[in-house]
Chains A and B, each alone.
Chain A
Amino acid sequence: MTYFGDANIWLPFVFAALMGVSILIYVVLDGFDLGIGVLFPLANDDEKDRMIASIGPFWDANETWLVLSVGLLLVAFPSAHGAILTALYLPVAIMLIGLILRGVAFEFRAKAPAPHKRLWNNAFFTGSLMTSLSQGFMLGMYVMGLEWSWINVAFAMLTALFLTVGYSFIGATWIIHKTSEALQIKAVDWAKGGIWGLILGIGAISLATPFVSARIFDKWFSWPEAMYLAPLPVLSALLVFWLWSMLHKMPYAGDRRSWQPFAAATALWVAAFAGMAYSFYPYVVPEKITIYEAASAPESLFIILIGTCIVLPTIIGYTVLSYVIFRGKATELRYD
Chain B
Amino acid sequence: MSALKLRHCMELETLLLSRIQFAANISFHILFPTITIALGWVLLFFKLRYNRTGQERWMEAYSFWVKIFALSFAMGVVSGITMSFQFGTNWPGFMEKVGNIAGPLLAYEIMTAFFLEAVFLGIMLFGFSRVPNWLHTMATFLVAFGTMMSAFWIIVLNSWMHTPQGYEMIDGVAHATDWFAIIFNPSMPYRFAHMVLASFLTVSFLIAGVSAFRWLIGGRTEGVRVALKTAVFAAAMLIPVQILVGDSHGLNTKEYQPAKVAAMEANWETDTAVPLILFAIPDEEARENRFEISIPKLASFILTHNWNGEVKGLDDFVTEDGEVLHPRVLPVFWSFRVMVGTGLLMLLISWTATYMIIRRKRGVEGLPKPMLCALVGMSFSGWLATLAGWYTTEIGRQPWLVQGVMTTKEAVANVPAPLVLSTLIAYLAVYAALLVAYVFVIFYLARKAARGEDIGTRVAPSPAATPKAIPME
Residues of chain A at the chain B interface (Cβ within 8 Å): 46-47, 49-50, 52-53, 56-58, 60-61, 63-64, 66-68, 70-76, 78-79, 81-86, 88-90, 92-93, 96-97, 99-101, 103-104, 106-113, 179-181, 296-297, 299-300, 303-304, 307-308, 311-312, 315, 318-319, 321-322, 325-326, 328-336
Instruction: Report Cα–Cα, A81/B108, bound state, in Å.
Output: 18
Smallest CB gap from A300: residue in B: B100
Complex A-B, nearest 9 residue pairs according to Cβ-Cβ distance, in ascending order: A82-B92, A85-B88, A75-B103, A78-B95, A103-B78, A78-B99, A57-B122, A329-B469, A46-B465
B75 CB contact (under 8 Å) in A70, A104, A334: A104
- 8 sampled A-B residue pairs with Cβ under 8 A: A57-B126, A63-B118, A73-B88, A92-B85, A315-B115, A325-B123, A334-B129, A336-B128
Contact B441 A108 (CB under 8 A): yes
Contacts A311-B115, A319-B119 given; does A71 touch B107 at CB 8 Å: yes
B106-131: which have CB < 8 Å to A? 106-108, 110-112, 114-115, 118-123, 125-131
Contact B126 A75 (CB under 8 A): no
Smallest CB gap from A100: residue in B: B78
- With a cutoff of 8 Å between Cβ atoms, the chain A residues found around residue B84 in the complex are 67, 70-71, 74
Smallest CB gap from B470: residue in A: A328
- With a cutoff of 8 Å between Cβ atoms, the chain B residues found around residue A52 in the complex are 459
Contact A74 B106 (CB under 8 A): yes
Smallest CB gap from B99: residue in A: A78
A297 CB contact (under 8 Å) in B92, B100, B413, B472: B100
- With a cutoff of 8 Å between Cβ atoms, the chain B residues found around residue A64 in the complex are 77, 110, 114-115, 118
New A-B pairs, 14, CB < 8 Å, besides A60-B118, A307-B107, A311-B111: A60-B73, A67-B80, A83-B92, A89-B423, A92-B89, A96-B81, A97-B430, A100-B82, A107-B74, A110-B458, A297-B173, A330-B467, A332-B472, A334-B129
Instruction: Convert B443-473 into 0s and 1s, putting 1 for each residue whose CB lies closer than 8 angstroms to a CB of A.
Output: 0110000000001111111101111011010
- With a cutoff of 8 Å between Cβ atoms, the chain B residues found around residue A90 in the complex are 419, 423
B92 CB contact (under 8 Å) in A66, A86, A325: A86
- With a cutoff of 8 Å between Cβ atoms, the chain B residues found around residue A326 in the complex are 122, 126, 130
Instruction: Report Cα–Cα, A63/B76, bound state, in Å.
Output: 12
Contact A335 B81 (CB under 8 A): no
Q: How large is the interface on B (under 10, 10 to 19, 20 to 34, 35 or more residues)?
A: 35 or more
Instruction: Report Cα–Cα, A75/B102, bound state, in Å.
Output: 7
Contact A307 B108 (CB under 8 A): yes
Smallest CB gap from A184: residue in B: B467
